[in-house]
Copies of this chain bind each other. A is one copy, B any other.
Amino acid sequence: MTRTAGSHGPTTQKAIQDAGLRLIHHHGYAAMSLRQLAGEVGLQVGSLYNHIRTKQDLLFDLLHGHMESLLTALDQALAETADPEDALRRFVAFHVDYHITRKAEVFICYSELRSLEPDNYAIIVGLRRGYERRLIAIIEQGVARGCFRVGDAPVAAYGILAMLTGVCTWFRPDGRLTAADLIDQYTAMVLNAVKGP
Which residues of A are interface residues toward B (Cβ below 8 A)? Answer: 25-31, 107, 110-111, 114, 150-152, 155-156, 158-167, 169-170, 177, 181-182, 184-186, 188-197
Residues of B within 8 A of A188 (CB): 151, 196
**B169, A166: Cβ atoms under 8 Å?**
no
**Nearest chain B CB to A67's CB is how many angstroms away?**
16
**B189, A194: Cβ atoms under 8 Å?**
yes
Residues of B within 8 A of A189 (CB): 150, 156, 159, 193-194
The CA-CA distance from A114 to B159 in the complex, in Å, is 25
**A185, B169: Cβ atoms under 8 Å?**
no
**B170, A158: Cβ atoms under 8 Å?**
yes
How many copies the complex holds: the figure is 2
**A182, B155: Cβ atoms under 8 Å?**
yes
**Nearest chain B CB to A91's CB is how many angstroms away?**
15
The CA-CA distance from A196 to B197 in the complex, in Å, is 8
**Nearest chain B CB to A84's CB is how many angstroms away?**
16
Contact of A185 among B27, B107, B155 (CB under 8 A): B155
Closest residue to A161 on the B side, CB-wise?
A: B166
**Nearest chain B CB to A178's CB is how many angstroms away?**
12
Known: A110-B169, A165-B162. A28 touches B30 (CB 8 A): yes
The CA-CA distance from A186 to B158 in the complex, in Å, is 11
The CA-CA distance from A135 to B9 in the complex, in Å, is 51
Known: A29-B28, A197-B192. A159 touches B166 (CB 8 A): yes
**B169, A159: Cβ atoms under 8 Å?**
no
**A162, B155: Cβ atoms under 8 Å?**
no
**Nearest chain B CB to A118's CB is how many angstroms away?**
15
Name 22 A/B residue pairs within 8 A (Cβ), A-sorted. Answer: A28-B28, A28-B30, A30-B31, A107-B111, A150-B189, A152-B185, A155-B182, A155-B185, A156-B185, A156-B189, A158-B170, A159-B166, A159-B189, A162-B163, A163-B163, A163-B166, A166-B166, A189-B193, A192-B192, A192-B193, A192-B194, A195-B197
